[in-house]
Amino acid sequence: MPRYALKVEYDGTPFAGWQRQAEQPSVQGAIEAALARLEPGPHTIAAAGRTDAGVHALGQVAHCDLTRDWDPFRLSEALNHHLKPLPVAIVACARVEDDWHARFSATGRRYLFRILSRRAPPALGAGRVWHLRHGLDIAAMRAGAAHLVGHHDFTTFRSSICQAKSPIKTLDEITIDMVDTPTGPEIHLRFAARSFLHNQVRSLVGTLERVGAGAWRPGDLRQALEARERAACGPVAPPHGLYLSGVRYPDDPFAD
């Protein structure tokens, strides 16, 4: 059966997350239903990562197996037709080897978190940014983030229901920048790692916000990390500011 890689963009607002659920809408379920309109199902697709309810994606990657030998462009066009009017789009499609796997072949993942720091509420970005009415000290946040980069036990910054076998991860990069957007300046936090724990990014962002707000000192991040207990974590940031922005593979299946 031919295998296809799909690069997926979606607004997570109306979904209970990526993973298919029996009685709630999911991104996986939406794409599998679209596939069933093209070929008799049932279909099961696998993704590079399972985003939570309300989390968005700019570059989620999934794969599917089909019986028909589809032209990748025509497959993406057909899927997008059947996905309407849901806020899900197949932005790229490629034929891959039979043993290629969206999750297990991945060597890195990147997340973006958007914060809008201003008094006025977001009229256009509602549900897509974390709106804060107070300012943030980006220099202090960067100093705090420096304690988190590297190979650590991230027990403090993972969900209590995380199913990962080990809390030890290598966080390759955290960047924090002020970015001009059409609706005003936003603070963008970017995270890169081979893989992440459940709620790790949102836990890190929520704690870094406390540093930026002056409630925590940058060095408090080191103490929280070394505590290795969930109670030492700051508040968890809301899901609607988070985006799975990209997935890295040894050979990019979508490269021209």
Report yes or no: 45 and 64 within 8 Å, Cβ to Cβ.
Answer: yes
Q: How far is CA 250 from CA 79, 106, 159, in A?
A: 26, 8, 29
C-alpha–C-alpha distance, residues 92 and 9, integer Å? 10
Of the listed 52, 65, 137, 172, which one is catalytic?
52
Amino acid, single-letter form, for residue 178: M
Q: How far is CA 31 from CA 22, 136, 221, in A?
A: 15, 39, 40
Instruction: Judge whether 99 counts as a catalytic residue.
Output: no
Q: Cite the DSSP H helix spans in the chain.
A: 27-38, 72-83, 138-145, 200-212, 220-227
C-alpha–C-alpha distance, residues 221 and 241, integer Å? 21
**DSSP-derived 3-state class of residue 167:** coil
Other C-beta atoms within 10 Å of 44: how many? 11
The catalytic site residues sit at 52
